[in-house]
Structure 1
Amino acid sequence: MLITEAPIRATTGSGHRTTATVLGAALAVAVLGQGAFHPGPFLLCAVLVVAAGCCALRERSRTPVARGPLLAAGLLGAFAAWALVRAAVSGDALLGLPTAAVAGVLAIAIVIAAGLGPAARDLLRGVVLTLGVVVAAAGWIGTALHLAPLSIPGVGLWRASSTLTYANAAAAVLVTVLIVAVTRVEDRLHRRLLVAVLLLGLAATLSRGGALALAVGLVVLACTPAGRTRLRSLAPVPFAAGLGFVGLLPSLPEGATPQPLLAAAGLAAGAGLLLRGTPRLAALAAAPVLAVTGLVVGPWGSPPVDTAVVAIADTRLNGDSSARVDLARVTLEQFRTAPVTGIGPGRLDLTYLDHAGNRVHAWFTHLEYLQVATETGLVGLALVLAAAAALAFGHRSAAGLAILAALAVQSALDFLWHIPAVPLLACAAVVLISPHPTDEPHPTHKEIS
């Protein structure tokens, strides 16, 4: 691993904790404040990130930082500058400010996180895990009680949107935190409980992109012996989360009455399985879970459950998305007008006639690569992808690669980069779970390296 001395100062002791605490507060503001999508929460998040940088710069000693994060931060800075230049050339530099601001915050946060010592990293990882639990719990509560905007009805079903108020963004956050929990929580019972909570929260979002992203992330982890060991230790978790999800089924249909007692019963059954479960018991639990599911959806089943299962099968278990195809088509038409330099940030026009002949207006393409390429050209997209590659391979960490691979897959299906909390949490998590220059050079069998 190539190491260099970073121009940012980090330390031991209280200074480390102060920097990590302020950066953790920024992450909390972003995740809990509707993803920092709106100007108010984003401005507060940005101020806290800058404040964390100032705390780090005040320290007298220096911590070595891998070149990968530094290169990633530099490329994001170049992307921010390019967005401003491209917007100015298009006639209004102010249109480039949102894109540049998000890229700038990401760059600063990456360097700060990379400059933290082991103790401060542990503190910040605790913040990340706590935020994941809060997002999962808020989404579950919102779905069980039909509390908008913690859960929002769509495609005929209540979908957990949690504090981000967007189900797919909540799913992206939960996938990121779930990978952190799998790879960095050492106690087996705590790891199982955390992953089960996060997995149930992810299931409640009913996000197809989130499910695919998780599958990709787990495949990456399974490519290493340490990753396979960790995943095998989670044998009872899918069954426990499945019991919790079965309890939610009666509350899912848009027109149904919320059933919090049934949801709580499913949660309790899942918790009981985890607290007393073994891999053998987990395998035996598959039959009861399927039996219970068959009972409630059978000829004597509850109509809301029947409705939920049919709606899930019709809208979540298929790849049909005519609206996304329309968005991609309209965006691609504009990309072709300026493929290298882009049409300029904020200038994408998504007012069009859809496949049914209806006039539609949208803000996002739901395919981030195409939207970024359309607005900032192949130049801008290349800078973003190069930054991600530098972050992914700078530490050669399978855990970090799993997070970025999961985000990369879901970014082809949902708009995630425009919700600052999602890339901010993912970038911070990649740095925090990657080997630190001051760590032991040879990780133990429990570590993902």
Structure 2
Amino acid sequence: MKNLSIFASALCLYGLMATPIGNLAGIKTMPVAAQTVNGFNVKEVRYGQGGMFQQQPDGSWLEKNRDGQFTFQETNRDEWSVYLVKSDGARVQLDLFKKEIILNGSNKLYDILSSSATSSISQSSTPRNAATRTPTLPQNDANQPVSTEPLPGKQCVYNNGLYVLTVDWFDPATIIYTGGNTKDFSNYEMTEDPHSSENITLGYSSCTNVKNRVAVVRIVGHDIANEGIVIAAGAVTGIVTGAAGAFACVATAGTGCPAAAAVVGVATSAAVSATGLALPDIEEIAYLGSPGTEKYLDVSGTLWTVKTSQTVPLSRSRNAFLEDPIVRGAANFITDGDPGPKSITFNNQSGYVAKMTVIYHEYKDFGNGVIVTLPVVKSSGDLPLGFSRHVDIPENIADIPITVSITGTATIKSDIYSTTIPANFRGNKCFKTWATIFDAKAGTCN
């Protein structure tokens, strides 16, 4: 990890929207506004057929056209745009750079014919978010202000793939984008450790009871060629805007920050200091973004065809055995009944075939007072993903520790795990495998 202090004259705060990383790579950074009329001082915008947006003395905006008059509230300004929202939730961006009026972040409504820093009506107050003040953050999909503090809600990442995922949940604004290629995860830093972190195998979810955390999702032990990742339509991935949460983009006067529509909120204060640590294991990252609060973020596919999508609502409970044809054939994880009173269970949660071997010792009486201990070898057999098997251990065995070893088939390292347990243990001991053929892992089930 690198420890870096970044000083700049501006801090760009990013919300997270449903736009794939690849779609942002070609977007140019907007130049800093230097013209007389800009996003910070504009008060009137005119478009075709006599239509106009006009700021009112109370800070609200009034749209006038041949269909009538409509009132909007201002939510944010940056160098080139004013962001408005109507009571029905419709979001409008007055983009002076593109000379367009944009609906809900992507739909062009009109071309801007002219703009003015003065209004044809009397202004009795300075507009909110004027250049003398730091603008508020962009609004999210629910038209609630983006917050740099955790907000109550729910986000979930669901593992629907043949690998183990590590999901790190970061609090808002603790992930910093430092400029450069948005698909290069070395250009992101963290100012704090994750709020929480956990590993999830196929059919399991990692959730947080906050609606604006940032998820960094890794495939354990696998170096991912990021350009090979397939991003399904509608997936929320990378630097995006429209969901609650924020990246901080540190740059000089706004330059170097990727400028997707409706994302940039520039602080006009003095120099900003931020200390960030590089994200660890960036070669394993499959996703970096905010999963949103309405649907699971599904990570699926194989090591070579990683996919993300969002189609299943959070209100629905998940069952991999019903959803996924890969594991549908397994009725449940326990495939051979209940474990015995003294038993060892092996559970394969990995993307490869694995086997557990158990060795214990029994006394053998050969007569004439000759009693020796002989090893007894039992195996779970080769088990695919999603299967478990129990190995029963007799009550009366030699007082020699029992050896448990786990091996993988076609894994880079065939000997994955080995341990011993006392011969006089009672109950059930459980061991499992996870991760990939490149970095196979095993341990206890707890």
TM-score range, shorter chain: under 0.3
Looking at both structures, which has the greater relative contact order when contacts are Cα pairs under 8 Å and sequence separation is at least 6?
1
Greater fraction of residues in strand: 2
**TM-score normalized by the length of structure 2:** 0.22
**TM-score normalized by the length of structure 1:** 0.22
Greater fraction of residues in helix: 1
